[in-house]
Amino acid sequence: MSDAVLAIGTRKGLFLARSADGGPFEIQPIQFSTVAVPSVAIDTRGATPRLLAGIEYGHFGPSVMYSDDLGATWGEAPQPPIAFPDKTETTLTRVWQLTPSPSEPGVVWAGVEPAALFRSEDHGVTYRLVEGLWDHPHRPSWHPGGGGLCLHTIVPHPTDPEVMGIAVSAAGFYRTRDGGMSWEAANQGIRAPFLPEGQQYPEFGHCVHKVCIDPAKPERLYLQHHFGVYRSDDFGGSWHDIGSALPSDFGFPIVVHPSRPDTIFVLPLTADVDRTPVGHRYRVCRSQDAGATWEELGEGLPEGPVHATVLRDAMTASPAGLFFGTRDGEVHCSRDDGESWSLVGRHLPDVLSVRAAVL
């Protein structure tokens, strides 16, 4: 069994946990204490893993840090690594997402607030604005969701660098097939029930919470919406609802198994007006047939009552296991695809982002 690393970004710092030979994860001392870490990534494409952390320095502003020694030391670009060009008259608020490209060595994508996409070609040290998305004619009409106007999800195709999807709250899902030069809204079939009858399937204006891709079937995407769970079999060309059999189709994260096709996981919350786990018990719902059927899994999780939300990036599936973190500072792990769970840590600050990798 290989060693593994778990990165936990919280409201008040970054925690790294290590596991040796399949043993329990041991949390190391806090890093960036009192600093919010809304995004983390573990880039394992090179000979040495690189950790990336999107951090918020309070009144000093957001930045991106990197480490090539598993957090022993950290580096930062001499100039702000992500900055809007002067002509945009825009200021960076938060780095919501850091995603290494699976098909382009050295390329890392960043999704930020206000909603924009940035590209790095030096392994995540410095970034430039993707102007094709920034200049999209829909952008002036985008409106923020409850968490702000944020580009929170980046879905690169695993083998074709020209193909990518992104999700913006609360604009919806957009895709490119020319490497980011042009973008199209891709929300057909997604329902917005708060709109008047006859207008409930808008081209854009959707509150998408998270999107993930099936690496074994890269045209297949899964989407957690504010009002449902959806699947697309044509990389967002059309969507259909797969959430009707869930105990609730409201939630924030959705993740796909890294090696088992058609296996996905969600963590339902009661409703948009009651963002607590269904029945006040943590239960991860798994589908092994691309959303046709679902099963609830919770062995080893607290029996309740629990009340904390799990945020969109606070759940991850990797060869190291399945993990989720809560807003009251617990992190749980499953190494058997959700069948059983163990506690990694508790009493951490509010968990914002979780990523894991085998070293």
**Mean pLDDT computed over 303-319:** 96
Residue 339 pLDDT > 70: yes
For residue 59, the SS3 value is helix
Tokens of 214: 């099936």
pLDDT bucket at 2, cuts 50 / 70 / 90: confident
The token pair at 81 is 């690594």
The pLDDT score that the predictor gives to residue 329 is 98
Average pLDDT taken over every residue of the chain: 97
Q: Model confidence over 236-278: pLDDT tens digits?
A: 999 999 999 999 999 999 999 999 999 999 999 999 999 999 9
- Scanning the structure block, which residue is given the tokens 């009002």? 227
Check whether 9 has a pLDDT greater than 90: yes
Print the domain residue range for 299. 4-358
Tell me the average pLDDT across 331-358: 98
Per-residue pLDDT tens digits for 72-81: 999 999 999 9
CATH number of the domain that residue 217 is part of: 2.130.10.10
User: How many structural domains does the chain have?
Assistant: 1
Is pLDDT larger for residue 2 or for residue 231? 231
Q: Taking Cα atoms as reference points, which of 136, 151, 157, 276 lies closest to residue 213? A: 157
Q: Shortest CA distance to 327 belongs to which of 316, 315, 341?
A: 315
Asked if the model's pLDDT at residue 206 lies above 60, the reply is: yes
Q: What is the pLDDT of residue 1?
A: 54
> Mean pLDDT across the stretch 105-127?
98
* Rounded Cα gap, residues 106 and 125, in angstroms: 10
3-state secondary structure 62-117: EEEEEECCCCCCCECCCCCCCCCCHHHCCCCCEEEEEEECCCCCCCEEEEEECCEE
